[in-house]
Amino acid sequence: MARTVPITDASVEEAARLLREGHLVAFPTETVYGLGANALDDAAVAQIYAAKKRPQFNPLIVHLPNVKDVRTFVVMDARAERVAAALWPGPLSIVLPRTPNCRLSTLVSAGLDTAALRVPSSASAQQLLRAAGVPVAAPSANKSGMLSPTEAKHVSDAFRNDVALTLDAGPCAVGLESTVLDLSTEIPTLLRTGGIVIETLEDILEDSVTIAGHDDAAPKSPGMLSRHYAPHTPLRINALHAEGDEALIGFGAPVSGERANLSPAGDLVEAAANLFRTLHELDAQNHKSIAVRPIPERGLGHAINDRLRRAARR
């Protein structure tokens, strides 16, 4: 049974340790309560998707206590520095290119070469992030498609077993998710409206900001879909065996000819954790084609198959 505890120095230390050890911790920010995991740990990030029952791998926001730490994971250009100086800490997330040797889990980016970063302002979030010493991936702590959680009780009502600890600091001040600004391309684009309005961003950037059609639960516009990572190598799904010199990715008990296996034990959380890294690795090996063994349509299998179907479509 998950525990909810008030924010104290001791509970923050415990939450920080649980995060470092790969567990899920729910914590307050100025926007909404987040469902946090160590963003360096693929398996921990995979648990977020499993707990939220997200049907797809939407990229997640990574939280850090200051801009200096942000610069170790993404490339900040002059525009990003300006926006960050004006609005961080605060309810703004910025999408930026991952650094060449970025240690963030590929799952937080859902396989993209960008990542969304945020430096939250709430004292509790700041205290937890400093104590954790690792970047924390955190979507809102609600089941996919349900209302956003602005009190600890909303979190404990939604997650009975998946969350190791929930830190309670009362209601969130903003109560609305952060604004998401994409600065990974030449034209600044607003991916999600939120606590910071577009005029504020345009004033700081001295440039106009384009609004993308975007929905947190399900990116609908073809533009959003095409942004997703797909391997350059043709991909065949639900393959029973490799044909010709296809590189075969297995799931469950290994069969002959596999180049990789997402989870020999047939564990869908482990498979999700390994998915994007495995695709990247095989893609870089210049195979003619990649084939993936069937993944069961249950639990995280829905999200894995969603991603594989999109990657196979061309």
Enumerate binding residues for ligand TXA (CB under 6 A). Answer: 29, 31-32, 34, 58-61, 93, 95, 109, 112, 114-116, 118, 138-140, 177-178, 180, 191-192, 216
Task: Give yes or no for residue 140 binding Mg ion (CB under 5 A).
Answer: yes
Q: Which does 32 bind (CB under 5 to 8 A by kind): Mg ion, ligand TXA, none?
A: ligand TXA
Query: What angle in degrees, to the nearest 10, is found between the helix axes of 42-52 and 268-283?
Result: 130
Rounded least distance, CB 15 to ligand TXA, Å: 14
Closest residue to ligand TXA, judged by C-beta, is 34
Residue with Cβ nearer ligand TXA (105 or 109): 109
Rounded least distance, CB 175 to ligand TXA, Å: 10
C-alpha 249/C-alpha 123 separation (Å) is 45
Contacts with Mg ion, 214-243, as mask; x by CB under 5 A:
--x---------------------------
C-alpha 284/C-alpha 33 separation (Å) is 38
Q: Which does 165 bind (CB under 5 to 8 A by kind): Mg ion, ligand TXA, none?
A: none
C-alpha 219/C-alpha 221 separation (Å) is 6
Q: Which amino acid is at 173?
A: A
Rounded least distance, CB 114 to Mg ion, Å: 18
What lies within 8 Å, CB to CB, of 220 at 6+ separation is 213
Q: Which does 58 bind (CB under 5 to 8 A by kind): Mg ion, ligand TXA, none?
A: ligand TXA
Rounded least distance, CB 39 to ligand TXA, Å: 11
Q: Which pair of tokens denotes residue 80? A: 């990003």
Please choose, out of 21-29, 106-114, 136-144, 185-193, the segment that lies near Mg ion by the rule CB under 5 A.
136-144
Residue with Cβ nearer ligand TXA (62 or 204): 62
**Residue with structure tokens 């992030």?**
129
Going by C-alpha positions, the residue among 278, 251, 280, 273 that lies closest to residue 263 is: 251
Residue with Cβ nearer ligand TXA (89 or 231): 89
Residue with Cβ nearer ligand TXA (37 or 204): 37
Residue with Cβ nearer ligand TXA (231 or 250): 231
Q: Which pair of tokens denotes residue 278? A: 């495995």
Q: Which pair of tokens denotes residue 208? A: 């106009």
Q: Which does 93 bind (CB under 5 to 8 A by kind): ligand TXA, Mg ion, none?
A: ligand TXA
Q: Which amino acid is at 253?
A: A
Residue with Cβ nearer Mg ion (109 or 140): 140
Q: Which does 38 bind (CB under 5 to 8 A by kind): Mg ion, ligand TXA, none?
A: none
Contact residues: Mg ion, CB under 5 A: 140, 216
